[in-house]
């Protein structure tokens, strides 16, 4: 899952925004049974939109869904697929994790599975820093790509002190992290790396020791990935530990309705949600009320998905954990900013 595409999808807001989610058989193209199943989901969306929007809008969105299904039929498939269409936007996204087959119709697209897949994809940065040179790489499970622009790679000025050089690298890295916060692996000797590792506001997960001014991306990836892999495995525990710490300091909330209100106020720093938790609901005076008639137009198909998007839009983080991790906290909990 591409983070830039996820952000783009979450920026879209129009009614109806239709999301089709389906488990698929991995292969070189869409299996015929999966193609039929996707078409049936599109037909279901078409049925639900009758009388809900104008006929022209209904036809345009449904036609877009069907065109996307046909156009992507010969592309390689993964474990699942998400097909999105609204009056102004459309996209197909392949995912590496299973989903619950469903149709979601709302004012925004259903992106919870994309958020979970983005966690699994584990985009990260590797920052190499020495006495003279600093380089920045962006990576995933398979490769690293070096940033080359007006800022990177950075060279230490001839009259710059070691302290001044460290501050320059740290300022550049902090700026990068503010625009696209992902975990960071620092590669360098302890003396030059420690200022970066100890800096507040940077999500540094480990250090690859030594001078890496001339280390190629393959070797860097080989050394950095085990640190990221360990970080991924500890993600659920870290999230739960943060919740416990927040509870002690009274910066904690749980339950879908309470967290919903706090998220709307911009107070949620970290949202933790169980993977399969869904909550169809109506809004009543700003509060969520559970709804059984999910296909009724005034019902939010899944308030949990809306909640995740709301938190992310306001600069918070969302972590999807396994079912039963939050069994004692109504399946959703949050660390608050204040």
109's CB contacts (< 8 A; 6+ apart) are: 9, 10, 12, 17, 19, 84, 86
| Domain(s) of CATH 3.30.420.60: residues in the chain | 122-232
pLDDT tens digits, one per residue of 14-49? 999 999 999 999 888 999 999 999 999 999 999 999
Supply the pTM of this predicted model. 0.63
Q: Where in the chain is the domain with CATH 3.30.1330.30?
A: 236-336
Chain centroid, CA 254 distance in Å = 21
CATH number belonging to the domain at 122-232, selected among 3.40.640.10, 3.20.20.70, 2.60.120.10, 3.30.420.60: 3.30.420.60
Are residues 182 and 123 in contact, defined by beta-carbon separation less than 8 angstroms? yes
State the DSSP string of 272-310: EEETT----EEEETTEEEE-S-TTSTTSBS-HHHHHHHH
Q: How does pLDDT run along the chain (338 residues), one tens digit per residue?
A: 566 788 889 889 999 999 999 999 988 899 999 999 999 999 999 999 999 999 999 999 999 999 999 999 999 898 899 999 999 999 999 987 889 999 999 999 999 888 887 766 667 899 999 989 999 999 877 788 999 998 999 999 888 998 899 889 999 988 888 777 778 999 998 777 887 888 877 788 899 999 999 999 999 999 999 998 887 767 677 888 899 999 999 999 999 999 999 999 999 999 999 988 999 999 998 899 999 887 788 888 889 988 998 898 888 888 888 888 888 888 999 999 99
User: Distance between CA 107 and CA 24 in Å, rounded?
Assistant: 26
Coil vs helix vs strand at 334: strand
Residue 125 and residue 130: Cα distance in Å, rounded? 16
- The CATH number of the domain covering residues in 3-120: 3.30.960.10
Report the C-alpha gap between 150 and 148 in whole angstroms: 7
128: β partners: 135, 187
Strands 154-155 and 144-146, bridge-based pairing: unpaired
> Contact at 8 Å (CB) between 205 and 227?
yes
Which overall architecture, per CATH, does domain 236-336 show? 2-Layer Sandwich (3.30)
DSSP reduced 3-state for 205: strand
Q: Which residue spans of the chain are classified as CATH 3.30.960.10?
A: 3-120
Is the omega angle on the peptide bond into residue 16 within 30 degrees of 0, that is, cis? yes
pLDDT in tens, 276-293: 899 999 999 889 999 988
First to last CA, the chain: 32
């Amino acid at each position: 899952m591409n983070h830039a595409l996820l952000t783009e999808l979450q920026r879209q807001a129009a009614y109806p925004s239709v999301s089709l989610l389906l488990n698929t058989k991995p292969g070189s193209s869409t299996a015929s049974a999966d193609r039929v199943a996707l078409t049936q989901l599109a037909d279901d969306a078409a049925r639900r939109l009758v009388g809900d929007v104008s006929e022209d809008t209904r036809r345009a969105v449904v036609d877009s869904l069907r065109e996307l299904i046909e156009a992507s039929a010969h592309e390689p498939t993964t474990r699942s697929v998400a097909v999105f269409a609204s009056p102004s936007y459309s996209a197909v996204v392949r995912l590496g994790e299973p989903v619950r087959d469903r149709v979601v119709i709302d004012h925004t697209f259903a992106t919870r599975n994309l958020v979970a897949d983005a966690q699994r994809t584990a985009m990260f940065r590797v920052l190499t820093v020495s006495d003279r040179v600093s380089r920045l790489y962006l990576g995933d499970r398979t490769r690293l790509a070096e940033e080359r622009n007006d800022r990177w790679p950075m060279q230490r000025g001839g009259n710059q002190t070691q302290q001044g050089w460290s501050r320059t690298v740290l300022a550049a890295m902090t700026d990068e992290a503010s625009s696209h916060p992902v975990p960071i692996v620092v590669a360098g000797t302890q003396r030059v790396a420690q200022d970066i590792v100890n800096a507040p506001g940077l999500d540094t997960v480990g250090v690859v020791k030594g001078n890496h001014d001339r280390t190629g991306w393959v070797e860097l990836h080989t050394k950095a990935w085990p640190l990221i892999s360990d970080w991924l495995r500890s993600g659920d525990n870290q999230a739960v530990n943060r919740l416990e710490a927040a509870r002690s300091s009274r910066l904690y909330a749980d339950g879908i309705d309470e967290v919903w209100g706090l998220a709307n106020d911009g107070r949620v720093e970290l949202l933790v949600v169980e993977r399969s938790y869904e909550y169809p609901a109506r809004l009543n005076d700003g509060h969520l009320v559970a709804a059984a008639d999910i296909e009724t137009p005034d019902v939010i198909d899944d308030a949990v998905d809306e909640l995740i998007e709301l938190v992310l839009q306001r600069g918070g983080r969302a972590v999807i954990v396994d079912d039963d991790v939050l069994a004692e906290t109504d399946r959703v909990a949050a660390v608050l900013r204040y």
